[in-house]
Amino acid sequence: MLNGEKKMERPFRWAMVGGGRLGQVGYKHRIGALRDNTAYQLVAGAFDIEPARGKDFGINIGVDEERCYPDYKTMFTKEALRADGIEVVSIATPNGTHYEICKAALEAGLHVICEKPLFFTSEEGEEIKALAEEKGKIVGVTYGFSGNQMLLQMRAMIEQGLIGDIRVVDLEYTHGFNATDKSDKVSEAQKWRVDPKIAGPSFVLGDLSTHTYYMSQLIMPNMKISRLLCDRQSFISSRAPLEDNAFVLMQYENGAVGRLWTSSINAGCMDGHRIRIVGSKASLEWWDSKPGELRYEVQGEPIQTLIRAMPYLDDLCNADERLGALHQEGLSESWANIYLKIALAIDAKNRNDEETLKNLIYPDIDAGINGIRWIENCVRSAENGAAWVEFENKKSISI
């Protein structure tokens, strides 16, 4: 169980790019990084595309005025001159900016934690991976739901053969918040999501399904997709060519099959994030809306609901437990688990401790590149008239 005690010599001096006053995801980064007082200290930021608002915001969340910078380039330059300069930076800006900021951060000698989808192309991903290796730095990716320990419970149960051979993978990440075009007109965060110059080659495939795809890899590290078929739609026509709905059919190398539905036009749906793995003996199912529960359904037996923090769960799962049974955990703890593991990876990298790095399960640069490849394969299929395509670069996450 985690209790906030220090796991490295001292907290890393941490900064953010983006995630300012109007940013949707910024607070989740801070809640994740600062959950324990022992892994990160927020000491600087270029929080906003508008410098004055970014500075005001930074001061309001307790950052020294002189370390609230007008832009990331100034921050990297000025911080490099300080004896107590930043060591790690998180990038919580729109997709189209990730590549250049990530590259500049690595060149400035910083470890990086970046939002998904990581970049627009897998070539950019490979380039940044090579740069990170050259500089001896970690690039982590904030697949924010993936720190939920019940996913590790699923992984452990599958590994132990409790559901038998995997036959069907059923994934969904949908919501209804963009069922009309109103959000495209009024929300700054939605406007860029449907602009290919800023969002990249996809909307919901990148915005939503990259999370679920990574989570499926985390749960089933040995399952590799051999072919897929993606059919995508723009029900709000002004969003074309980007999709607000997509179906993906998958075939896996071991003969299993899968389907994924991702959508932001699932009208009335508040949180349709679900993973069901069907094996030859039993099935496992997890819903984001009940993150502390895992359904274990053995054919012919009463359905079981496994509950977070109980001693019958696997050690792999309970090692990430923070609050203990009786109390609720959720997205905040999931982010905290991811941020802590990335801190442990940074600490290990700084000490050249390859053994620790090898054994840490966290969304690393490979997970980010795999997410880009997922999008590339889906878009290639969709643009070929929803044709079956060979899954290119079927590399699994490095775990």
Q: What is the DSSP letter of 272?
A: E
Beta carbon nearer to ligand NAD, 22 or 387: 22
Among 36, 79, 87, 115, binds ligand NAD (CB under 6 A): 115
Smallest distance from the beta carbon of 165 to ligand NAD, in angstroms? Answer: 32
104 and 110 Cβ atoms separated by less than 8 Å: no
User: Could you say whether residue 215 binds ligand NAD (CB under 6 A)?
Assistant: no
Beta carbon nearer to ligand NAD, 207 or 278: 207
User: Could you say whether residue 76 binds ligand NAD (CB under 6 A)?
Assistant: no
List the x/- string, 23-42, binding to ligand NAD by CB under 6 A.
xxx-----------------
CA 350 to chain centre: 23
DSSP output for 189-245:
HHHHHT-HHHH-S-SHIIIIIHHHHHHHHHH-TT--EEEEEEEEE-SSGGGTTS-SE
CA–CA distance, 379 with 117 (Å, rounded to integer)? 14
User: Could you say whether residue 18 binds ligand NAD (CB under 6 A)?
Assistant: yes
Beta carbon nearer to ligand NAD, 283 or 337: 337
User: Could you say whether residue 189 binds ligand NAD (CB under 6 A)?
Assistant: yes
User: Could you say whether residue 46 binds ligand NAD (CB under 6 A)?
Assistant: yes
Torsion angles phi and psi, residue 283, rounded to 5: -125, 155
CA 391 to chain centre: 21
115 and 93 Cβ atoms separated by less than 8 Å: yes
Among 9, 107, 165, 188, binds ligand NAD (CB under 6 A): 188
Among 90, 93, 174, 178, binds ligand NAD (CB under 6 A): 93
**Checking DSSP bridges between strand 111-114 and strand 139-141, what pairing results, if any?**
parallel
Beta carbon nearer to ligand NAD, 192 or 350: 192
Smallest distance from the beta carbon of 281 to ligand NAD, in angstroms? Answer: 33
**Checking DSSP bridges between strand 245-252 and strand 257-263, what pairing results, if any?**
antiparallel
Among 13, 40, 95, 374, binds ligand NAD (CB under 6 A): 95
Summary count for the chain: helices (H), strands (E): 15, 14
Identify the H or E element spanning 365. helix 365-383
Which of the residues 324 through 353 are near ligand NAD (CB under 6 A)? none
Beta carbon nearer to ligand NAD, 140 or 279: 140
Residue 70 corresponds to which amino acid? P
CA–CA distance, 221 with 254 (Å, rounded to integer)? 13
Identify the H or E element spanning 111. strand 111-114
User: Could you say whether residue 144 binds ligand NAD (CB under 6 A)?
Assistant: yes
User: Could you say whether residue 97 binds ligand NAD (CB under 6 A)?
Assistant: yes
How far is CA 61 from each of CA 33, 56, 335, rounded to the nearest angstrom? 14, 9, 19
Beta carbon nearer to ligand NAD, 69 or 296: 69
- The stretch near ligand NAD (CB under 6 A) out of 45-53, 160-168, 314-322, 366-374 is 45-53
Site residues (vs ligand NAD, CB under 6 A): 17-20, 22-25, 46, 48-49, 71-72, 92-95, 97, 115-116, 142, 144, 188-189, 207
